[in-house]
Each structure stands twice: as C-alpha cells, then as structure tokens.
C-alpha cells in the first residue's frame, strides 16, 4: 500500500473536489450575482420599475457616455459633490435618496461585470400557471439560474467515486500479475469500504480538515437558508398585494393631488411602532364639508357618513348608527417579528416611499416590497446610520470614530449597531 501514498486515488478525489468547488465559487462571481448582492435591493436591472432607485432599463441611453457609469457606481457622492450635471440632476429627481458608495467594495472588473449584466437582459422565460405567473423579475430570475453549484459538486463526487472504483479493480489485477511474476502470493481482495477505512485511519489529519470544511459549509448553508427566508419563494410573499377596500379611498387623490401630509392620517408613525390607520373621525374633519368626489360623486363618501352615523341632510350624528370601517391590512408581518416605525422614520430618517413605494401615485394602496427577512437585513447591511445631528448618537459616534480612527474607512451601517441580531427583530 505504501507505494501509493503520494497520490492515492482518494487523495486525487479530495483534491479534485476541493478545487472544483473552489473554481465554481470563483466563476459564480459574475455580474448577475454581484448585481443581486449589491444593487438589487434598490434597482430593477431590466425594467423601469422604481424601487429605492430607478429601474435601470435604458440606462445606457440616458446616462452620459464614457466612463460616467463606472464613476457613478463606484462613488456617486463624489460626482454629486463635484457638481456633475447629470449626477446632481438625478439626485434631485429621486428625492435626494442616497445610493451606496461602492468604492473599496467593488473592483473595476466587478463593475464591468455588473454593467454587462445590465446590458444583456435575461432571455424571456414563459411561466405557465401557478402563483408565479405574472410575478416580478426576481422570480423569473431565480428560476432561471442554471444548475446549482451544489449539484455540480455532488455529481462530480459520484463520478469520481465510480472512477475510483474502476481504477481500484485495475490496480488490484496489476498488483496481482506483478505478484505472480515475482512468485509472491496473490493479495486478497479487500472490500472498498475496508480500504477506505484503512486509508482514513492513515490520514487522520486530512480527514479532520475535510470534516471541518463540511461542517462549516453545512452551517453556512443553514445560515443562508435562514437569511433568505421568503426569497426563493417570492410569490409566497405578499408583494403586489392590493386588496379591495371597503371605500374606494385613493392615496393619489389625498396625498398626491391634494398634498395632505401622510402624518395627518397616519399620526402615530413618528411616535410609536405603528403608523396607524385613521379613524372615521379624521375623514369627517374634511368630508363633513366635501360631500362629492371627482370620480364617484356622492357614492363613496356616503359610506363615510354611514360609518360615522352622520346624516348630511340634517347635519347631525347619531352615535347608535356608527359602524367602524373595516379596512383590510395591506402589509402583514408575522407575529414573531418586531418592527418599529418611529425608529425607522424618526431616528433612521427613512422616507416612507423607501419601504412603501410612492403612495402619492397609488389609487389603491399596494405592498411594494417583499417584507422578507432578507429585505430587512439587506437594507441594514447597506444603509448607513445617520448619526450626524442626531443627539441619540453623538456619544456612540464619537466612540466609534475614536475606535476606528485612521484604521479603516468604516461605514457605520445598521448591522454595525446590532441590526442583524436575531433578538432585535424577533420576540
Ligand atoms: C441604497 C440603495 C441603492 C443601492 C444599493 C444602489 N443604488 Fe443606484 N441609485 C440609487 C438611487 C436612490 C439613485 C437615484 C439617484 C440618487 O438619488 O442618488 C440611483 C441611481 C443609479 C444610477 C443612475 C440611474 C439613472 O436613471 O440615471 C445607476 C446607473 C445606478 N444607480 C447603478 C447602481 C448599481 C450598478 C448598483 C450596485 C452596484 C447600485 N446602483 C446600488 C440607490 C441605490
Ligand atoms: C387622508 C388620509 C390619508 C393620508 C393623507 C395618507 N393615508 Fe395612508 N392610508 C389611509 C387609509 C384610510 C388607509 C387604509 C386604506 C388603504 O389601505 O388604502 C391607508 C393605508 C396606507 C398604507 C397601507 C397600510 C396597510 O394596511 O398595510 C400605507 C403604507 C400608507 N397608507 C402610507 C401612506 C403614506 C406614505 C402617505 C403619505 C404619502 C399616506 N399614507 C397618506 C389614509 C391616508
Ligand atoms: C423601514 C421601512 C418602513 C418605513 C420607512 C415606513 N414603513 Fe410603514 N410599514 C413598514 C412595515 C414593515 C409595515 C408592516 C408592519 C407590521 O405588519 O407590523 C408597515 C406598515 C405600515 C402601515 C400599516 C399600519 C401599521 O402601522 O402597521 C402604515 C399605515 C404605514 N406603514 C405607513 C407608513 C408611513 C406613513 C411612513 C412614513 C412616515 C412609513 N410607513 C414608513 C415599513 C416601513
Ligand atoms: C384633509 C382633508 C381630507 C381628509 C382628512 C380626507 N379627505 Fe377624502 N377627500 C378630500 C378631498 C380634497 C377630496 C377631493 C374632492 C374633489 O376633488 O372634489 C376627497 C375625496 C374623497 C373621496 C371621493 C373620491 C372620488 O373620486 O369620488 C373619497 C371616497 C374620500 N375622499 C375618502 C376619504 C376617507 C375614507 C377619508 C378618511 C380615511 C378621507 N377621505 C379623509 C380631503 C380629505
Ligand atoms: C430602507 C432600509 C431599512 C429597511 C428595509 C429596514 N430597516 Fe430596520 N433599520 C434601518 C435603519 C437605518 C436603522 C437604524 C435606525 C437607528 O438609527 O437606530 C434600522 C434599525 C432597526 C432596528 C434597531 C436595530 C438596533 O440595533 O437598534 C430594528 C429592530 C429594525 N431596524 C428592524 C427592521 C425590520 C424587522 C425590518 C423588516 C421588516 C427592517 N428593519 C427593515 C433601515 C431599514
Ligand atoms: C432585521 C430584522 C431581522 C433580523 C435581524 C432577523 N430576522 Fe428573522 N425574520 C425577519 C422577518 C421580517 C421575518 C418574516 C419573513 C417573512 O414573513 O417572509 C423573519 C422570519 C424568520 C424565520 C421564519 C419564521 C417563519 O414563520 O417561517 C426564522 C426561522 C427567522 N426569522 C430566524 C432568524 C434568526 C435565527 C435570526 C438571527 C440570526 C434572525 N431571524 C434575524 C426579520 C429579521
């Protein structure tokens, strides 16, 4: 057995699997993946759907030519501060929403790969039936992505084991003919597993290393699965949900055309975890006077009166006839998740539209984001905590600055203040 030690088939097997998994990992770092990791939270690559940032369809036509796109993607702040015309224009156009700075995180080659991915729209995939039909781009892309690396690795392990088995037979008969030539006894046939066991006993350290790799790999995929909850099943999330409400209430008409502030109706959004849905009394503040609407005339507004027990002909209320409106909740987090509006809106200074889309253009309120754990976490990884001028953070900021002074160009994203800890979001 000794003479096989330097390159026994089992060693070749392990080495091959190791390099194979390694190279698959490298080749998967393509534009699509990079885009999904870094940009997809805020941009749709091939449509003009508005997320936090604009959809990137047609970007090569509207953005300045040359290496503008590259400069923008690596450091948009620099371009905006430098007064670049197009940069300042889009910055203003999208409500001064900040795009992440990627300098230091992405290389030039990464950006090229991302741009190539944006340039080449995925082949249209026809989805037939099922809840995924007509779903968003994310679903189509998730089902597109070719063979999973894990199947490639498993497949190659199986092939290598078969090869190994065959080679072993050949080796055994070669050994025996050599033995016969030298007049020695034939080596008895040892079972494959027996041989593997002997080999492993002889290579404890190597086996140990692989065991560790496998255990950690397993833990990593558990974590990923956990973290991605809801993502592979995007159709299961309620994104795009817009139930019909008891009254045809339009945000476009109220918050858009008539510019009524969100807080006028969702008055607890800055003070508590719930934004709150206005009671019928709030509607009556205006609708006691406004008895006709532009689209439905008196029909829909009459439902407000019915709920309030109000008789417009007599201008009186009858409390015994009150009948609260039963609005259907659009956004629903499971009970085990804790989400707090005031923390995001007041402390985090996040605009409603970042999470809810532009209500000012919706006639029917619709859920625009998946509300999965990945969605929360991706934002926590990417969004910098706005500490400046925020008394709550003055001390923390000073301490962090001191801790990292001159060492790194650290970004204080939400994950750095504990935004990925399970207990922060889960009861
Ligand atoms: C945190 C959200 C966010 C992330 C992450 C993000 N962007 Fe943006 N991006 C924006 C916003 C918002 C704008 C609009 C301009 C502004 O407000 O600064 C924008 C603008 C752009 C534009 C110009 C769009 C136009 O219509 O002219 C391009 C191109 C772009 N982003 C590419 C990328 C790429 C590529 C990535 C990933 C490497 C990325 N962005 C990641 C938010 C983001
Ligand atoms: C005149 C009152 C009024 C104003 C102003 C208003 N809303 Fe609403 N909003 C409502 C009512 C009533 C509902 C419940 C009915 C519905 O879902 O359409 C609602 C529902 C919502 C929902 C869905 C809640 C759920 O069930 O999950 C969101 C999100 C929302 N509003 C955000 C906003 C934002 C953002 C603004 C400002 C741009 C705004 N609203 C302005 C009255 C108002
Ligand atoms: C960081 C993301 C985020 C921001 C910013 C945000 N919301 Fe929400 N909003 C949510 C989530 C998540 C829910 C679902 C909460 C639940 O089911 O417990 C929600 C639910 C709501 C509801 C339903 C009622 C309730 O309180 O659950 C209303 C109304 C609402 N948001 C209005 C607003 C308004 C108005 C603003 C801006 C002033 C705003 N939201 C900002 C994420 C956000
Ligand atoms: C701050 C004032 C204000 C409040 C509060 C308010 N509305 Fe209105 N509402 C208006 C105005 C302004 C119009 C448009 C009237 C017009 O254009 O003729 C309107 C129109 C309407 C219409 C008619 C739509 C149509 O096209 O026919 C409905 C229905 C309506 N509101 C429902 C509600 C409900 C339900 C509430 C409470 C959740 C509410 N409004 C709260 C100001 C208000
Ligand atoms: C658009 C970006 C964004 C999204 C989406 C978002 N968050 Fe946040 N979240 C923030 C920011 C910014 C802060 C930091 C606020 C502050 O300064 O305390 C924060 C803070 C928090 C904190 C406090 C963390 C700490 O360490 O104090 C919790 C809990 C939290 N978010 C839960 C959620 C949950 C649950 C969701 C998904 C339903 C979610 N967030 C989605 C941006 C986001
Ligand atoms: C930033 C907020 C946030 C953090 C941090 C977070 N979660 Fe979640 N988690 C969520 C949200 C939101 C959901 C609901 C997703 C959905 O309904 O699709 C969820 C769902 C889950 C579920 C699925 C439960 C079910 O009903 O299917 C599990 C399990 C889970 N989280 C475990 C964890 C663990 C373990 C950690 C820590 C490593 C963690 N979460 C950290 C926000 C968070």
Torsions phi, psi of 143, nearest 5?
-80, -10
Among 22-31, 119-128, 166-175, the range scoring the smallest mean pLDDT is: 22-31
Q: Which pLDDT value is given to residue 399?
A: 76
For the segment 320-334, what is each residue's pLDDT rounded down to a tens digit? 888 888 999 999 888
Q: What is the pLDDT of residue 197?
A: 87
Q: Which CA distances in Å does 166 have to 16, 152, 163, 231, 297?
A: 17, 21, 5, 43, 83
Instruction: Report pLDDT digits (tens) over 366-395.
Output: 999 988 888 898 899 888 877 666 666 777
More confident residue, 296 or 125: 296
Average pLDDT value for residue range 95-108: 85
Q: Is residue 237's pLDDT more than 70?
A: no
Which of these, 392, 366, 84, 402, lies nearest to 244 by C-alpha position? Answer: 366
Smallest CA separation from ligand 4 atom 26, residue: 295
Contacts of 326 (CB under 8 A, 6+ apart): 246
Q: How many CB atoms lie within 10 A of CB 212?
A: 10
Q: Is the CB of 410 under 6 A from ligand 4?
A: no
Q: Residue 336 and residue 342: Cα distance in Å, rounded?
A: 19
Q: Which residue has the tokens 């207990």?
A: 423
Smallest CA-to-CA distance from 185 within 193, 176, 194 is with 176
Ligand 1: distance of its center to the CA of 310 in Å?
49
Instruction: Kindly report, residue by residue over 139-182, the tens digit of the pLDDT.
Output: 333 333 445 566 778 888 899 888 888 888 888 888 888 888 88
- Residue minimizing CA distance to atom 5 of ligand 1: 39
Q: Are 348 and 385 in contact (CB under 8 A)?
A: yes
Token code pair at residue 32: 């699509």
Mean pLDDT of 199-213: 89
How many A from CA of 334 to the centre of ligand 5? 16
Ligand nearest to the CA of 70: 1
Q: What is the rounded CA–CA span in Å between residue 56 and residue 42?
A: 10
Gap from CA of 275 to ligand 3 centroid (Å): 6
Q: Who wins on pLDDT, 36 or 197?
A: 197
Spatial distance between the Cα atoms of 344 and 47, rounded to a whole number of angstroms: 28
Q: Which atom of ligand 3 is nearest the CA belonging to 332?
A: 17
Write the residue with the smallest CA distance to atom 37 of ligand 4: 283
Which residue in 350, 347, 351, 418 sits closest to 389, CA to CA? Answer: 347
The span from the CA of 274 to the CA of 266, in Å, is: 9
Average pLDDT over residues 219-223: 74
Distance in Å, CA 99 to ligand 1 centroid: 5
């Amino acid at each position: 057995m000794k003479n096989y030690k330097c390159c026994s088939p089992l060693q070749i097997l392990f080495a091959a699997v190791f390099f194979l998994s390694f190279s698959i990992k490298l080749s998967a770092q393509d534009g699509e993946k990079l885009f999904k990791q870094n940009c997809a939270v805020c941009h749709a690559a091939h449509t003009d759907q508005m997320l936090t940032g604009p959809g990137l369809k047609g970007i090569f036509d509207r953005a300045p030519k040359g290496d503008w796109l590259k400069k923008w993607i690596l450091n948009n702040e620099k371009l905006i501060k430098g007064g670049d015309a197009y940069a300042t224009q889009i910055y203003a156009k999208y409500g001064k929403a900040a795009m992440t700075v990627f300098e230091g995180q992405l290389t030039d080659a990464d950006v090229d790969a991302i741009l190539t991915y944006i340039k080449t729209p995925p082949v249209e995939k026809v989805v037939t039936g099922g809840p995924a039909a007509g779903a968003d781009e994310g679903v189509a892309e998730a089902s597109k992505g070719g063979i999973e690396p894990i199947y490639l690795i498993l497949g190659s392990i199986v092939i290598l084991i078969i090869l190994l088995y065959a080679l072993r037979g050949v080796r055994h008969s070669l050994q025996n003919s050599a033995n016969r030539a030298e007049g020695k006894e034939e080596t008895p046939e040892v079972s494959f597993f027996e041989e593997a066991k002997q080999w492993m006993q002889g290579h404890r350290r190597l086996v140990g290393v692989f065991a560790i790799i496998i255990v950690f790999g397993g833990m990593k995929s558990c974590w990923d699965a956990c973290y991605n909850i809801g993502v592979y099943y995007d159709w299961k999330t309620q994104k795009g949900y817009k139930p019909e409400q008891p009254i045809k209430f339009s945000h476009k008409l109220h918050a858009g055309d008539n510019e009524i502030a969100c807080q006028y109706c969702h008055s607890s959004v800055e003070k508590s975890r719930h934004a709150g849905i206005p009671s019928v009394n709030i509607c009556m503040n205006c609708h006691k006077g406004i008895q006709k609407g532009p689209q439905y005339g008196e029909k829909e507004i009459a439902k407000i009166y019915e709920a309030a027990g109000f008789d417009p002909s007599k201008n009186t209320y009858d409390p015994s006839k009150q009948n609260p409106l039963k609005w259907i909740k659009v956004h629903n987090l499971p009970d085990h998740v804790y989400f707090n509006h005031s923390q995001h809106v007041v402390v985090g200074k996040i605009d409603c539209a970042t999470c809810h889309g532009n209500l000012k253009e919706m006639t029917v309120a619709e859920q625009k984001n998946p509300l999965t754990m990945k969605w929360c976490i991706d934002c926590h990884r990417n969004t910098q905590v706005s500490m400046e001028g925020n008394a709550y953070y003055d001390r923390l900021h000073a301490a962090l600055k001191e801790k990292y002074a001159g060492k790194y160009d650290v970004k204080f994203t939400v994950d750095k203040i504990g935004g990925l800890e399970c207990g922060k979001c889960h009861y």
